[in-house]
């Protein structure tokens, strides 16, 4: 949904740019809507009320 609207809410482009010397903004804009991601989340809740 976000990629179709060309929105990168979690900054995948920023991560890719920081790891690629040959970063190309135009290329990223072209391929971003088709990028498939699999996200795994681990979380810990810390607080006095738990």
pLDDT at 3: 67
Tokens 């690629």 correspond to 20
Q: Per-10-residue mean pLDDT for the chain, 50 residues long? A: 73 89 90 86 84
Q: How far apart (Å, rounded) are the C-alpha atoms in residues 30 and 6?
A: 10
Residue with tokens 């920023």: 14
Pair of tokens at residue 45: 């809740």
Q: Residue 24: its pLDDT value, please?
A: 92
In the prediction, which pLDDT does 18 show? Answer: 93
pTM: 0.57
Predicted pLDDT of residue 47:
84
């Amino acid at each position: 949904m976000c990629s179709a609207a060309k929105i990168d809410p979690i900054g995948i482009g920023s991560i890719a740019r920081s790891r690629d010397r040959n970063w190309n903004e135009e290329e990223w804009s072209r391929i971003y809507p088709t990028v498939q991601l699999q996200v795994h989340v681990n979380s810990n809740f810390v607080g006095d009320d738990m």
